Amino acid sequence: MDAFSRPRATRTDNGARSNVIALPASEMPTRWYNVLADMPVPMAPPISPATGQPVTPAELEQIFPPQLIEQEMSAQRLIPIPEDVLDILAMWRPTPLIRARRLEEALGTPARIYYKHEGVSPAGSHKPNTAVPQAYFNKISGINRLATETGAGQWGSALAFATRVFGMTCRVYMVRVSYDQKPYRRTFMRLFGAEVFPSPSPHTASGRAILEKDPDSPGSLGIAISEAVEEAAGREDTNYSLGSVLNHVLLHQTVIGLEAKRQLEMVGETPDFIFGCHGGGSNFGGIALPFVPQMLAGEPIRAVAVEPDSCPSLTRGRFAFDYGDTAKLTPMVRMYTLGHDFIPPGSHAGGLRYHGAAPIVSALLDAGVIGAEAVAQADVFRAAELFAHAEGIVPAPESAHAVAAVVHKADELREEGREATILFSLSGHGLFDLGAYEAYLDGTLPEQGDQRKAIASAMRDLPEVSL
Ligand SMILES: *Cc1c(COP(=O)(O)O)cnc(C)c1O
């Protein structure tokens, strides 16, 4: 008997007492699932702001490496993950799927609730799943420097980690309100060698234009994207990297759903409901897209993207061409949008403050393949507290939007006396978000106000596109 021996059944070997469904490392997915091969409706091409015509690969090559441009447009169903990328992902993947048994008990629901825990990654969210391949494809294309934006700081943290792994450098434009609210995210990025500026910044023409109008601008993802794109387009040695929205980002995130599907199979389950919070669509796409072939085949799987009611692009936006950024430097893509000028109210769910939505998620929503709902901030923090008490994990405020929707559904199922299997994405932990929880406990979370006027005003500036 040595210090490490213990009765087997109490360890995490998926015995009766474990709620953790661990996928063996040998079963980590080696290919990404590309939903573009199975889309039931055609995707509109992105439109160049310079020509008004579909963007050409040559235009995109100013800011992206060729492999990512190819993935953006690929119709190949399964795309191999390079060995060097798998080696890094294996630092924390496969991530656990966890049965939320104590949450079920707390809710008294007949539903079986499972969550995919992406908070175990180096940056504490799902974002490194795409930061690593993006850094890698830039590196092998001879690019050693990336510029990006970050909302809540999670994407900047993920890219700072990924560029460090491949010996590259990274500059991050961080939305001002988060820069002030979340100083330790800044420290995290700097520790991994990234340069971090609050956005709007005086370093770019786009930033200066905003500052002239409003020196106290809280910033927005749309503004920070303009700054990073401007820098990447203006420098030979620098490319741009985006943490959400684009097809290749959702592609990289499908490891989440591919693993979850296998893990549910291991315990004989298929999901009836899938929930993911929605900012730009990457963690929702990551968990839901691998189930799209089953949905299209008529299986009763309902996937729902959950957004804040203060930034309701999917539930109140218009499905139209719009710019991805405020300064209109990016291509126009067809997506659900609140208008590129919409600046969402300062919120503690910084990662969900984006005017648009992924074109893939938008097209699937428009086609009725998936659903969307909006939740209120007060519900989100109550659900987060309940989840923390039951499961012992502090969720990121973003992820807590999915938790709130799961709680609503579980309550509904209890009232109907109906069993069902719920899968959701816990996109990240909230240990860098304790300022938000402090405000919640003190009762000082800011009111978000009615955004209807601001949305209506921003919608008037949607671009005209005629193809
Ligand atoms: C960035 C982020 C989000 C929102 O982005 P999506 O692309 O919609 O996933 C959600 N949760 C966490 C933890 C994030 O870091």
Predicted local distance difference test score (pLDDT) of residue 8 = 40
Provide mean pLDDT across the span 167-191: 94
- The closest-lying atom of ligand 1 relative to the alpha carbon of residue 278 is 8
Cα 302–chain centre separation: 19
What are 212-236's pLDDT values in tens digits?
999 999 998 889 999 999 999 999 9
* Mutate which of 115, 117, 118, 125 for ligand 1 pocket (most atoms within 8 A of beta carbon): 125
Quick check: CB of 117 below 6 Å from ligand 1? no
Q: Please give the distance, rounded to the nearest whole angstrom, from the Cα atom of residue 235 to the centre of ligand 1.
A: 28
What is the C-alpha separation between 197 and 421, in angstroms, rounded? 44
Q: Is the CB of 34 under 6 A from ligand 1?
A: no
Q: How confident is the model at residue 346 (pLDDT cuts 50, 70, 90)?
A: confident
Closest approach atom of ligand 1 to CA 243? 7
Ligand 1: nearest atom to the Cα of 352: 4
Which atom of ligand 1 is found nearest the CA of 279? Answer: 8
**274 phi and psi angles, rounded to 5 deg:** -125, 130
The per-residue pLDDT for 5 is 55
Nearest CA to ligand 1 atom 15: 154
Mean pLDDT of 171-192: 94
* Protein residue closest via CA to atom 2 of ligand 1: 351
Query: Which amino acid would we find at residue 280?
Result: G
Residues 13-66 have pLDDT tens digits of 445 568 999 999 999 999 999 999 999 999 999 999 999 999 999 999 999 999
Question: Does the CB atom of residue 398 touch ligand 1 within 6 A?
Answer: yes
Of the candidate CATH numbers 3.50.50.60, 3.40.190.10, 2.60.40.1180, 3.40.50.1100, the domain formed by 83-124+248-453 belongs to 3.40.50.1100
Ligand 1 site, residue 326, Cβ cutoff 6 A: no
Could you tell me how far CA 395 lies from the centroid of its own chain?
A: 14
Residue 119 CA, closest ligand 1 atom number: 13
Residue with tokens 């996109």: 427
User: Does 257 contact ligand 1 (Cβ within 6 A)?
Assistant: no
Q: Which residues pair with 335 in a beta bridge?
A: 320
Closest residue by Cα to residue 301 from 368, 370, 367 = 370
**Which among 95, 67, 81 has a CA at the least distance from the CA of 30?**
81
- Does the C-beta of 109 come closer than 6 Å to ligand 1? no
CB 220 near ligand 1, within 6 Å: no
| 277 touches ligand 1 (CB under 6 Å) | yes
Every domain of the chain and the residues it spans: 83-124+248-453
What is the per-residue pLDDT across 390-420, written as a single tens digit (0 to 9) for each? 999 999 999 999 999 999 999 999 999 999 9
What ligand 1 atom has the least distance to the C-alpha of 244?
7
286 lines ligand 1 (CB under 6 A): no
Structure tokens at 191: 């520790």
Q: What angle do CA 208, 349, 250 make, to 5 degrees?
A: 85
Please state the three-class secondary structure of the chain as a single string. CCCCCCCHHHCCCCCCCCCEECCCHHHCCCEEECHHHHCCCCCCCCECCCCCCECCHHHHCCCCCHHHHHHHHCCCCEEECCHHHHHHHCCCCCCCEEECHHHHHHHCCCCEEEEEEHHHCCCCECCHHHHHHHHHHHHHCCCCEEEEEECCCHHHHHHHHHHHHCCCEEEEEEEHHHHHHCHHHHHHHHHCCCEEEEECCCCCHHHHHHHHHCCCCCCCHHHHHHHHHHHHHHCCCEEECCCCCCHHHHHHHHHHHHHHHHHHHHCCCCCCEEEEECCCCHHHHHHHHHHHHHHHCCCCCEEEEEEECCCCHHHHCEEEEEECCCCCCCCEEEEEECCCCCCCCCCCCHHHCCCCCCHHHHHHHHCCCCEEEEECHHHHHHHHHHHHHHHCCCECHHHHHHHHHHHHHHHHHHHHCCCCEEEEEECEECCCCHHHHHHHHHCCCCCCCCCHHHHHHHHCCCCCCCC
Ligand 1 atom 1, closest CA: 351
124 Cα nearest atom in ligand 1: 13
- Count CA within 13 A, CB hemisphere, residue 145: 12
Q: Quick check: CB of 428 below 6 Å from ligand 1? A: yes
Phi, psi of 429 (to 5 degrees): -90, 165
Token pair for residue 448? 């978000």
CA of 278 to the centre of ligand 1 (A): 7
Q: Quick check: CB of 181 below 6 Å from ligand 1?
A: no
| Atom 13 in ligand 1: residue holding the nearest Cα | 428
Q: Is the peptide bond before 94 cis (omega within 30 degrees of 0)?
A: yes
Looking at the predicted structure, is the pLDDT value of residue 10 above 70? no
pTM: 0.95
Residue 186: per-residue pLDDT: 95
Q: 196-215, pLDDT tens digit by residue?
A: 999 999 999 999 999 999 99
Tokens of residue 323, six digits: 């710019």
CB of 128 closer than 6 angstroms to any ligand 1 atom: no
**CA nearest neighbour of 18 among 28, 27, 26, 7:** 7
> Cα–chain-centroid distance for residue 191?
23
Give 450's pLDDT tier (boundaries 50, 70, 90): confident
Sheet of 421-426, strands arranged across: 20-21, 97-99, 112-117, 421-426, 273-277, 302-308, 371-375
Q: Cα of 123 to ligand 1 centre, how many Å?
A: 12
Candidate of 188, 304, 352, 355 to mutate for ligand 1, largest count of ligand atoms within 8 Å of Cβ = 352
Say how many Å lie between the CA of residue 246 and the centre of ligand 1. 13
Q: Is 399 exposed, middle or buried (0-12, 13-18, 19+ CB in 10 A)?
A: buried
What pLDDT score does 376 carry? Answer: 95
- Which residue in the block uniquely carries the two structure tokens 């889309």? 39
Confidence of residue 7 (pLDDT cuts 50, 70, 90): very low
Check pocket membership of 71 for ligand 1, CB cut-off 6 A: no
In this predicted structure, the answer to whether residue 11 has a pLDDT above a threshold of 90 is no
- Residue 283 Cβ < 6 Å to ligand 1: yes
Residue of 369, 357, 345 whose CA lies nearest to 249: 357
Atom of ligand 1 nearest to the CA of 283: 9
| Most confident residue range from 2-11, 115-124, 454-463 | 115-124
Average pLDDT over residues 96-115: 98
